[in-house]
Amino acid sequence: MTNTDLKALELLFQRPLEPAFTTRDSGKTVLELPDSFYTDRYRNDTEEVGNRFSKDVDLKIPIQELSNVPSLEFTKKIGLKNQFSLFNNRHRDIASELITLFMGAPNLRQFVSLCVYTKDRVNPVLFQYAYAVAVAHRPDTREVPLTNISQIFPSNFVEPSAFRDARQEASVIGESGARVHVDIPQNYTASDREDEQRLAYFREDIGVNSHHWHWHLVYPTTGPTEVVNKDRRGELFYYMHHQILARYNVERFCNNLKKVQPLNNLRVEVPEGYFPKILSSTNNRTYPARVTNQKLRDVDRHDGRVEISDVERWRDRVLAAIDQGYVEDTSGNRIPLDEVRGIDILGNMIEATPVLSINYNFYGNLHNEGHNIISFAHDPDYRHLEEFGVMGDVTTAMRDPIFYRWHGFIDTVFNKFKTRLNPYNAGELNFDGITVDYIEAKIGKSNTKANTLLTYWQKSSADLAAGLDFGPSADGNIFASFTHLQNAPFTYTFNVTNNGARRTGTCRIFICPKVDERNQALNLEEQRLLAIEMDKFTVDLVPGENTIRRQSTESSVAIPFERSFRPVGADYQPKAADELARFKFCGCGWPQHLLLPKGNAQGMLFDLFVMISDYSQDSVEQPKTPNDACSTAYSFCGLKDKLYPDRRTMGYPFDRRLPNANLTELVGAFGNMAKTDLRIVFNDRVIDKA
């Protein structure tokens, strides 16, 4: 890969609505297109526009002619100004064909040319999705950093008035260093009359919604087999969303709200309204709202049809399969839903992935079509020419309270399967000769109490310039400030005794709420379903006493703030090789600033649970592919081009029923487990990020 190839690929993530021939990289770089690459609108003006945008730039990157010009007729069913949805079957199939086209480019130079040629001829969100999937999966683009979606299409994440202020600031103040930060307001989607607004800081967090998009980019439902068919993909769909739901329900307890009521009946009115107040990047219209007590209806639109009865039929077939203990493939063969592969089969079947579902025509498209029915509730038959609401877009779906109700229902289906499995027995839980003697979590300052952790509000900023199309190009930093939940970094310290030879273990850390929103104690089964995975890592255990220390910032679940909101461009990339590698690939993961639940002012009590399991039963023999530079968030995102690095089922030991009456009995029965009370205190003040 040449430097200009790398640069060209990075530039295609910037200013997605502008033609490919305009300047990028703060006005420093331009792509020099062959005349044949210009669209009909500019074909007669190639010399004029080429000269205009190539003046006063530092770098001109010539783009090679295509050896084979593709037909893009298949993309025309999604108009340039239409919304694009991964939940829509037609859109998904078009994206699959485009990804296949990109993956099939014979070499890197032709891949660059193909992407530049395609960019101005297809829907911009479709292009950015298919392009990002291809960059993430082609072996010759491993070094290309994926720009966070919030910086490509910031209007999907930011209150619209901020853009007016940002463009004004950039137009009036020439030097970016002298520009003031544009402030993004908090709580702009509803007043405190709406109880659900207490969770807006979670649902509307930029990092949360960026994670959801990036996960679906890494694990697309359609495309070439090598892109879609990944190790334990269906199980990861279940587990990642299960953990989101557990975290959301615990946040509800922190805000004196009860758990989410699963949306298991699509024929009753939906009491939760939602008015998103954000703009679609493609047509500059607001995402449609859903009023309070909206009734869901069959969807009958030009680009998709689905009846509520379809979803009900698929639901009943999936539930019947769980009751029977097997699914039937297209040839009528019975595939058992066992404790090893069952959850993975169900995950691929429920999402659903057409190429991986055991029987797509019979078990249907339960998860995605539920999203579609909800997202078109305001205009199911297209009589008002409205596009889908936020539930139809993976970048915005998590903003809506009903996302958690729908996934609450999906999670009950998965849990129905999990409860049919036998509880874990002693042989599956114990690690003979290993005793966890002491555990604590402590903020680094010397005067802090052990097992008392702190959350607070923090004001941070992100650069919107890369996604502000048709704005000032030179010296283009345009920062927006926003307030989000944050936690004080802390350190785990565990004392572990090994009464045998030197060996390796897997340390598994969870926190479980002790009480609900009414301060009523939770039983073990309730805690199991609400257990939040905090970290997982291997430990070497020498004979005798061992002290294990682990920083909260090293979590296998989360990625640092800087990876969610990193500035665009080479000037901001780390210089050290290892840091640069992590910078480029570590875009998938739960945001570090939401690693801890909010807690409350009095200090909300949790059980801090630690388990050391036998690594010889956990380890996975990996293929001899190059090591991925990013492994920090593998619990949710896996490892690039490798197997999921834990043989146990995801969420172990809380993914199945446990043999004891309560958590105290459980840790009392197994020396390789321990728990202690953990208090999370919320300080209701705003601190500026250093």
Active site residues: 351
Check residue 115 and report its DSSP letter. H
Taking the CA of residue 58 as centre, how many other CA atoms within 13 Å lie in the half-sphere pointing to its CB?
9
Residues 6+ positions from 413 with CB-CB distance below 8 Å = 315, 318, 319, 322, 346, 350
Reading the block at residue 133, the tokens are 């999937």
Q: Among 373, 314, 369, which residue's Cα sits nearest to residue 346?
A: 314
d(CA 208, CA 502): 40
Q: How many CB atoms lie within 10 A of CB 516?
A: 19
HSE of 164 in the Cβ direction (CA atoms, 13 Å)? 5
Across the beta sheet with 490-498, what order do the strands follow?
434-443, 490-498, 544-551
Q: Are strands 490-498 and 544-551 parallel, antiparallel or unpaired?
A: antiparallel
Q: 574: cis peptide before it, omega within 30°?
A: no
Q: DSSP code of 194? A: S
- Tell me the three state secondary structure of residue 127: helix
Record the tokens describing residue 248, joined without a space.
Answer: 């959301």
Please state at what angle helix 366-375 crosses helix 308-324, rounded to 10 degrees.
Answer: 150
The tally of CA atoms less than 13 A away on the side-chain side of residue 532 is: 23
CB 224 within 8 A of CB 100: yes
Q: Rounded to an integer, what distance in angstroms lies between the CA atom of residue 201 and that of residue 220?
A: 27
Residue labelled with tokens 């909010």: 598
| Token code pair at residue 136 | 């993430």
CB 137 within 8 A of CB 640: no
Token pair of 5, please? Answer: 């190839």
Closest by CA position to 139, among listed 333, 325, 1, 34: 1
**Could you tell me the CA-to-CA distances from 193 to 189, 197, 250, 332, 463 in Å, in that order?**
12, 8, 21, 53, 33
Instruction: State both tokens at 444.
Output: 């680094």
Residue 183's identity, in one-letter code, is D
Asked whether 60 and 54 are in contact (CB, 8 A), the reply is yes
User: What is residue 203's three-state secondary structure?
Assistant: helix
Which residues, 6+ apart, have CB-to-CB distance to 475 below 8 Å? 26, 27, 174, 175, 176
Residue 284 burial (10 A CB sphere; 0-12, 13-18, 19+): exposed
Question: Please, are residues 568 and 463 in contact by the beta-carbon 8 Å criterion?
Answer: yes
Burial class of residue 147 in the structure, from the number of CB atoms within 10 Å of its CB (0-12 exposed, 13-18 middle, 19+ buried): buried
- Cα separation of 669 and 666, whole Å? 5
Question: Residue 306: what are its φ and ψ, rounded to 5°?
Answer: -155, 140
Cα-Cα end-to-end distance for the chain: 37
From start to end of 295-416, where are the E strands?
Answer: 299-301, 304-306, 326-328, 334-336
C-alpha to C-alpha distance for 391 and 266, rounded to whole angstroms = 15
Q: At 59, phi and psi to the nearest 5?
A: -140, 130
